[in-house]
């Protein structure tokens, strides 16, 4: 496959290197001559020191026979124009744009860019999914005084190796279910808690430190 | 006529002043407040600091419902993106982008964006002044009249389209 990468920053550099090492034909376009020369010294003469936003430069780099054009510069407007020129002027089958402002995604899609890669969105998604270990995760308030929480057990958690009856749950708290290996299941009298289990429990907010202690272990500093 | 201009440089500033003086409703945007120093003291339009390639910033500046949108910053690609955003997201009918690369100017005119190419414009003017025939590339290319719904509206207003 012939891939044309535009933008010789960190992303473009590693992308070009990986593609080249896995046997693809790659050309990297980088408009800064100093940076282009530096990359060429490291990965060989597959670097074109021209601006990938210029139609004539794209033509020189072989855009008309590229299977994929990946626009990975740090500027959204440049990545959009590179992909549009590739698509409409050189009929490239697949265009990929790096998008920094997640709000640009609908516009880029609408304007015909085939694939969007948004580092901002990926990191956002990762932060939102991130479960702080050793903390009770609040899943939902059930009423003003009652909360549904999740406790992730680790090897050090006091609940591990015990059944529900062996736990001394704080008054007013109850265990609803566990999620083990991504599967939710009811907690029976024989169920023994294991490290990695996510225990779903309910309780009043003021019982949370005690619940935390019983399931996960004492809070730091407590 | 309501006109939105992105980029208060020499061209943008001059045009904003002229259009305002002839009674049009002008909104001009620039990333730098000091660019607005180019506007005359008599300027009666809106000068708004903001990024013309950001949809939220355009809406905050009041670009919705404009008759004409002119993207005149120093960056070809910023202009192209702003013009397409105005056309596709805000549904503005007439958009022009200053595009100094002749090949990009032609490509985007084909995609419906009006383009103005300073390179061919100055070259032609000089050729004319020397009494020589002008080049074959037009320096101003009209875009297509915009006739479809903005992004987002398409999902709800799709009846009867094929």
Count CB-CB contacts under 10 A for residue B100.
Answer: 18
Q: Give domain status of residue B161, yes or no.
A: no
How far apart (Å, rounded) are the C-alpha atoms in residues B37 and B25?
19
**Comparing A147-151, B9-13, B28-32, which segment has the lowest mean pLDDT?**
A147-151
Band (B155; pLDDT cuts 50, 70, 90): very low
Q: What is the pLDDT of residue A67?
A: 97
Confidence check: pLDDT of B159 > 50: no
CA-nearest residue of chain A to B83?
A77
How far apart (Å, rounded) are the C-alpha atoms in residues B75 and B12?
13
Of A55, A103, A107, the CB nearest to B101: A55
Q: What is the pLDDT of residue B38?
A: 95
Confidence check: pLDDT of B16 > 90: yes
The predicted model gives B137-145 an average pLDDT of 84
What count of CB pairs under 8 Å joins A to B?
59
Identify the DSSP state of B147: -
- What is the ipTM for the molecules in this complex? 0.81
A110 touches chain B (CB under 8 A): yes
- Interface-testing mutation among A81, A86, A112, with chain B (most B C-beta atoms within 10 A): A81
Q: What is the pLDDT of residue A132?
A: 54
Residues of A in contact with B117 (CB under 8 A): none
State the alpha helices, DSSP H only, in B22-162.
55-60, 76-88, 102-110, 118-129, 153-156
Q: Are A171 and A204 in contact (CB under 8 A)?
A: no
| Mean pLDDT comparison of A6-10, A51-55, A196-200, highest-scoring range | A6-10
How far apart (Å, rounded) are the C-alpha atoms in residues A221 and A138?
21
Total domains, chain B: 1
Of B77, B84, B151, the CB nearest to A53: B77
Q: Where are the beta strands (DSSP E) in chain A?
A: 2-6, 25-29, 47-48, 68-71, 94-98, 115-117, 136-143, 146-152, 174-180, 183-185, 198-203
Q: Are A114 and A108 in contact (CB under 8 A)?
A: no
Q: Give domain status of residue B80, yes or no.
A: yes
Q: State what percent of residues in chain A have pLDDT above 70.
A: 95
Q: What is the pLDDT of residue B158?
A: 37
Q: What is the pLDDT of residue A128?
A: 66
Domain boundaries, chain A: 2-126, 136-215
The CATH number linked to B120 is 3.40.50.720
Band (B64; pLDDT cuts 50, 70, 90): very high
Interface of B with A in 47-76 (CB under 8 A): 53-56, 75-76
Band (B5; pLDDT cuts 50, 70, 90): very high
- Interface-testing mutation among B104, B110, B112, B137, with chain A (most A C-beta atoms within 10 A): B104
HSE-up (13 A, CA, CB side) for residue A28:
31
How far apart (Å, rounded) are the C-alpha atoms in residues B138 and A76?
28
- Is the domain spanning A136-215 CATH 3.30.70.1450? The answer is yes
Contact B104 A55 (CB under 8 A): yes
What's the pTM value of the predicted model, to 2 decimals? 0.70
Domain that holds residue B104: 2-150
Q: Give domain status of residue B142, yes or no.
A: yes
Q: What is the pLDDT of residue A133?
A: 55
Q: Give domain status of residue B155, yes or no.
A: no
Q: What is the pLDDT of residue B14?
A: 96
Residues of B in contact with A76 (CB under 8 A): 53, 81
Superfamily for A2-126? NAD(P)-binding Rossmann-like Domain (3.40.50.720)
Alpha-carbon distances, residue A162 vs A98, A133, A152, A170, A219 (angstroms)? 49, 20, 15, 16, 20
Q: Give domain status of residue B128, yes or no.
A: yes
Contact B77 A103 (CB under 8 A): no
Alpha-carbon distances, residue B5 vs A61, A75, B58 (angstroms)? 35, 22, 11
- Looking at the DSSP assignment, which residues form a beta bridge with residue B98? B116
Q: Which residues contact B27 (CB under 8 A, 6 or more apart)?
A: B2, B3, B4, B5, B45, B46, B48, B61, B62, B63, B66
Q: What is the mean pLDDT of chain A?
A: 89
**Comparing A80-94, B33-47, B101-115, which segment has the lowest mean pLDDT?**
B101-115
């Amino acid at each position: 496959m012939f891939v044309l990468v535009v933008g010789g920053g960190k992303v473009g550099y590693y992308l070009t290197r990986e593609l080249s090492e896995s046997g693809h034909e790659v050309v990297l376009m980088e408009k800064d001559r100093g940076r282009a020369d530096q990359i060429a010294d490291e990965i060989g003469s597959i670097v074109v020191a021209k601006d990938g936003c210029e139609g004539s430069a794209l033509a020189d780099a072989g855009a008309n026979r590229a299977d994929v054009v990946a626009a990975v510069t740090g500027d959204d407007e440049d990545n959009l124009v590179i992909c549009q020129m590739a698509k409409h002027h050189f009929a490239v089958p697949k265009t990929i744009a790096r998008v920094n402002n997640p709000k640009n995604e609908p516009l880029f899609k609408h304007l015909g860019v085939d694939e969007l890669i948004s580092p901002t969105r990926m990191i956002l998604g990762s932060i939102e999914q991130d479960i702080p270990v050793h903390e009770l995760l609040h899943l939902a308030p059930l009423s003003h005084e009652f909360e549904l929480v999740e406790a992730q057990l680790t090897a050090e958690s006091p609940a591990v190796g015990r059944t529900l009856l062996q736990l001394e749950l704080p008054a007013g708290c109850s265990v609803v279910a566990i999620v083990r290996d991504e599967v939710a299941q009811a907690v029976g009298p024989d169920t023994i808690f294991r490290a990695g289990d996510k225990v779903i429990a309910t309780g009043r907010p003021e019982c949370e430190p005690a619940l935390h202690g019983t399931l996960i272990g004492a809070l730091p500093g407590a | 006529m309501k006109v939105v201009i992105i980029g208060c440089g020499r061209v943008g500033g001059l045009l904003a002043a002229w259009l305002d003086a002839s009674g049009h409703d002008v909104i001009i945007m620039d990333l730098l407040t000091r660019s607005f120093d180019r506007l005359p003291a008599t300027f009666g339009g809106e000068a708004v600091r903001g990024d013309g390639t950001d949809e939220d910033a355009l809406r905050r500046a009041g670009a919705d419902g404009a008759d004409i949108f002119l993207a005149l910053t120093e960056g070809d690609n910023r202009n192209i993106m702003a013009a397409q955003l105005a056309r596709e997201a805000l549904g503005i009918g007439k958009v022009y982008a200053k595009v100094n690369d002749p090949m990009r100017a032609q490509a985007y005119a084909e995609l419906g964006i009006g383009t103005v190419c300073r390179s061919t414009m100055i070259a032609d003017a000089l050729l004319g002044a020397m009494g020589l025939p002008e080049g074959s590339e037009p320096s101003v290319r009209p875009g297509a009249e915009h006739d479809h719904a903005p992004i987002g509206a398409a999902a709800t207003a799709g009846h009867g389209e094929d």
